[in-house]
Structure formats: structure tokens, C-alpha cells
Copies of this chain bind each other. A is one copy, B any other.
């Protein structure tokens, strides 16, 4: 693995996790020290991330982390729904026994790790990171049999974009208020295994929209959503 690729992975993780918050300028000298790489691999990684909408570049004024906003969050979520619903429909139409088995397996692993999470586990901790990995693996397993490398690619990118809004919020406490996420996952799995395309699609869309609604709180204060009146 080349150094440029390592830096790409690290930078991506730091942006998605929120360690590098939206809008933050990415000056090259500090990045050089942080990631122990020269200008070339750094700039290569930044250019790749720019193509993924995680970084923006202002010519001759450098890079910065792509800003976040309510509108951007919803666009990422709704686009993700468009992509993943289509992929899910195709997977339901094409998936074989192996596809079903991997869904069941991924759901089981997710449930186990979910049970392992205590209320005192850090959002960045090892237990939680494993949970995130299995959550991602479950959603990926659902659409894995869709047969389209591009849909899977876009799904992966939109996953990263939406995680930028979810992961930092987990630090707060009242995140999953009155919501049965494992139940949603189970219903989704059962609809997929029963080949109920319409129902699975509706469940998947509702799942992501509910997450989005729960994440709206973080925008409650400054970047106003509605029309300005007095100020």
C-alpha cells in the first residue's frame, strides 16, 4: 500500500469521524506533521477526497473539509435512499442463497455486538467501532447482490457522507430517543428475505429518514433552516 493511499484512508477516517470538523482549513504543513508524509501523497489524497465531496478546494487557497449543513445532510440522505433502494430491489430480484445467508449472518453479528454495547461505551471505543463496522456490513450485505459496481460504489460514498452527521452526535446522549433500531433492522432483513421489494424499499427509506430526523437537532441553533423573518 502506497503512502498516498494510507494518508487517504487516515484523512477519510478523520473527516468522517468528525475529528476534522466541517469547514476546517486543511493547511499542508500541519497535515504533513500529523500524517508523516510529504506534499505529494498528501495532495493526492486530498484530490481523491475532493472527488468524493469530503473535501473542497479553492484554487490557490488550499483545501478544507467540506462544510456541513442541514441541506447537505438531507441531500446526502435522500440520494443514498435513491441509490440503495434501487440496489436493494435488484438484490432482491437477483440474490441467491449465499446472499440470504450473508444477510442473516451479518444481522446476527450486528445483534451480538449491539447487545455487547453498554451505556458506558465510548463512541470512539473499540466496542463501538466494531458495532459501526457490523452495522455497515449489514447494510452492505443487503445490497451486495445487486450486481452493479457503480451502485455499490455510490452507496459506499454516501454512507461516508452521512456518517459525518451521525458519528459526532453519538457523543451526546439523547440520540436514539424512543427508537427501536434493531427492530428496524430485523424488519428490513425479513422483508428482503421474503423478497418483498416494495416493503423492503419502504422500510429502508424510512430507516434512513428517521435517522436524519434524529440528527436534525444538531442544526437547531445557528444555521437556520426556514426563511429569515426579522434578523
Contacts and interface: CB of A to CB of B under 8 A. Distances in A.
A66 to B, nearest CB: 11
A45 B149 CA distance: 23
A47 interface: yes
Q: How many copies of the chain does the oligomer comprise?
A: 2
A1 interface: yes
Contacts of A44: 43-44, 47
Contacts of A39: 40
A9 B153 CA distance: 23
A51 B53 contact: no
A151 B60 contact: no
Contacts of A43: 40, 44
Contacts of A190: none
A18 B149 CA distance: 22
B75 A86 contact: no
A5 interface: yes
A148 B59 contact: no
A5 B59 contact: yes
A48 B48 CA distance: 5
A27 to B, nearest CB: 17
A83 interface: yes
A76 interface: yes
A5 to B, nearest CB: 7
Nearest to A40: B40
A83 B83 CA distance: 8
A79 B40 contact: no
B50 A148 contact: no
Contact of A75 (B47, B53, B149): B149
A176 to B, nearest CB: 26
Contacts of A78: 148
Interface in A111-150: 148-150
Given A47-B44, A47-B48, A59 B151 contact: no
22 contacts: A1-B59, A2-B59, A2-B60, A4-B47, A5-B59, A40-B40, A43-B44, A44-B44, A44-B47, A45-B47, A47-B48, A48-B50, A48-B51, A51-B51, A53-B153, A75-B150, A76-B150, A78-B148, A79-B150, A79-B154, A82-B83, A82-B151
